[in-house]
């Protein structure tokens, strides 16, 4: 049975907005979260035009009390079938900077790791009680690489990958699926901040269509574009010293 009530964080732009459009259809209730209320309403209107019912909530997801309160309120009103934790902050450090800006590192850690981990834990409990549900965490291919140009970003995504796997094992007996999505480069405002090269860059709508189809099959792991699957496997075979050398020159 296709999920009916779908929460998407970071739905005001980029991949989140594309995921909202990919799930918008008659019978779907979309809960679209982000900070920018104007953009959220624009995306909601696009989803409504496709036949979905869309509700928007604008708040800063780093506000953990607001996050858990909004989740509980939404879940009481319409039990969430599918929760997609997509909101994220990029964070590349300029070559000439001595280190990452500490406040930037904190924001990245809070948006990319703390908020999805807290949110997923909260909704996992409610889904386990119902004996059904699906949680999707949007990670990154960066989880596989100790990126010197984005130490905190890479670390948050690596942490999220471990969390997703552990949670999926824990939730299996409750019929709650957990999916980790690890994208390469998707053309969004975030990736436009990253200097080229961006191999295998794909549009957000193409990425969202692939992700939505695999979510519907309850895939545990989604890596896209597909070229990153062999690339990731190959780099795992490299001695760590060689990988460090390559990355130090990147």
Residues at the site binding ligand NAP, with contacts judged by CB under 6 A = 10, 12-16, 34-36, 60-62, 86-89, 111, 138, 140, 183, 185-186, 188-191
Q: Rounded to whole angstroms, how far apart are CA atoms 113 and 116?
A: 6
98 or 114: whose CB is closer to ligand NAP? 114
Q: DSSP string of 159-172? A: HHHHHHHHHHHHHG
Burial class (CB in 10 A: 0-12, 13-18, 19+), 107: middle
Judge contact between 81 and 5, C-beta under 8 A. Answer: yes
DSSP, res 104: H
**What angle separates helix 151-171 from helix 102-109, to the nearest 10 degrees?**
20
225: preceding bond cis by omega (within 30 degrees) = yes
Question: E-strand spans in 69-211?
Answer: 82-85, 133-138, 176-183, 186-187, 202-203
């Amino acid at each position: 049975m296709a999920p009916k009530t779908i929460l998407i964080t970071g739905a005001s732009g980029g991949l989140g907005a594309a995921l909202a459009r990919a799930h918008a259809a008659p019978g779907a209730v979309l809960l679209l979260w982000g900070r920018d209320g104007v953009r959220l309403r624009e995306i909601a209107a696009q989803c409504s035009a496709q036949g979905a019912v869309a509700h928007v909530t604008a708040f800063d997801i780093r506000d953990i009390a607001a996050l858990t309160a909004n989740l509980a309120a939404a879940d009481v009103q319409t039990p969430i079938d599918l929760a997609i934790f997509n909101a994220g902050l990029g964070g590349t450090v300029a070559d000439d900077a001595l280190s990452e800006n500490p406040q930037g590192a904190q924001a990245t850690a809070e948006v990319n790791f703390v908020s999805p981990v807290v949110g997923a834990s909260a909704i996992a409990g409610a889904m386990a009680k119902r004996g059904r549900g699906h949680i999707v965490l949007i990670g990154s291919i960066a989880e596989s690489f100790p990126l010197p140009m984005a130490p905190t970003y890479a670390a948050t995504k690596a942490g999220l990958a471990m969390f997703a796997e552990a949670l999926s094992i824990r939730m299996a007996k409750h019929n709650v699926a957990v999916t980790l999505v690890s994208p390469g480069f998707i053309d969004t405002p975030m990736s436009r901040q990253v200097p080229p090269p961006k191999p295998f860059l794909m549009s957000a709508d193409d990425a969202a269509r692939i992700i939505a189809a695999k979510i519907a099959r309850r895939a545990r792991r989604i890596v896209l574009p597909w070229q990153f699957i062999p690339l990731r496997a190959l780099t795992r075979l490299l001695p760590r010293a060689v990988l460090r050398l390559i990355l130090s020159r990147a």
